[in-house]
Amino acid sequence: MVLGVRDRGVTHLGPAEVRELAARLGLRPTKQRGQNFVIDANTVRRIVRESGVTAGEVVVEVGPGLGSLTLALLETGAEVTAIEVDPLLAGELPATIEAFAPAQAGRLRVVLADAMSVTELPGPPPQALVANLPYNVSVPVLLHLMALLPSLEHGLVMVQAEVADRLAAPPGSKTYGVPSAKAAWFADVRRAGAIGRNVFWPAPNVDSGLVAWTRREPPTDRIAREEVFAVIDAAFAQRRKALRGALRTLAGGAEQAEAALRAVGIDPLTRGETLGIDDFVAIAIALHEMTPESA
């Protein structure tokens, strides 16, 4: 337990509490795991406010670290399922919550796991995902959990500013790409603000951004998501290449790619960066229907 927490009346982690916890644990944040801990209580309150989490909801948090955001989430009256890959941090989190917010400790579940490989979570199905995602795996983790947990209705994640721009980018913009198109399968995504570097310890060398999203129904049930995502990957593998060439390998030839594109009313010389998720769905369906196995 952090010494004197209850006596000091502290209910959130500030710079002193974060450093005190880290020193007691012998913790040195590592770039490999993207460990940059939030030390500003106003920032975590802002994240929770922007997320729209309410009492009674079940929230998934990825990489809770020392517990800054966890405490703010529990403060809303929500239940929190925290996924932490670091055994030291996962083992300490319940004690930290007990020290800072003992009345809320019963609403925390800690899962020691890599969020990229988790296949199920304990407890009731979650409605929200709120997390300070490690920069190096933020997009794969977000897409994995969106696919794994169809009960998720909304969420907000803090990621590198550049990644936030990509996730929320509309078709035709300079930052639109694979993350934007794939996220659009699951949700309506928007930029929800910027976060400065000085709210972290250690301070990262990049700015951060907030991305909010609301679940939408899948754009089709006629074809598997994986087939649509294969089209997206191919379309952006060589970003400046026209779709006729970009989809050549996937379609089994440039002529087949052109035929599929013309069948859905898309100019074969169009580039993938101009297409929305519904366009990629249409192309995937056309390619699927052209294969001998689907005949």
| Sheet architecture: strand order including 128-132 | 108-112, 79-84, 58-62, 128-132, 154-160, 208-215, 187-195
Helices (DSSP H) in 12-168: which residue ranges? Answer: 15-25, 41-51, 68-75, 87-100, 138-148, 161-168
In angstroms, the CA 114 to CA 104 distance is 25
C-alpha angle 239/253/243, rounded to 5°? 25
- CA 65, distance to chain mean position in Å, is 16
Query: Is residue 132 annotated as involved in ligand binding?
Result: yes
Query: Is residue 38 annotated as involved in ligand binding?
Result: yes
Structure tokens at 128: 């929200």
Quickly tell me which residue has 């998501």 as its tokens: 225
In angstroms, the CA 226 to CA 167 distance is 19
Query: Is residue 198 annotated as involved in ligand binding?
Result: no
State the DSSP code for 197: G
Residue 69 — φ and ψ, nearest 5°?
Answer: -70, -35
Cis amide bond preceding 29, omega within 30: no
Contact 158, 133 (CB under 8 A): yes
Contact 153, 58 (CB under 8 A): no
In angstroms, the CA 194 to CA 289 distance is 44
Three-state secondary structure string covering 251-262: HCCHHHHHHHHH
Query: Is residue 20 annotated as involved in ligand binding?
Result: no
Beta bridge partners of 131: 157
Cα-Cα-Cα-Cα torsion 211, 156, 134, 191, nearest 10 degrees, comes to 10
Contact 138, 160 (CB under 8 A): yes
The binding site comprises 36, 38, 63, 84, 114, 132
The binding site for S-adenosyl-L-methionine comprises 36, 38, 63, 84, 114, 132
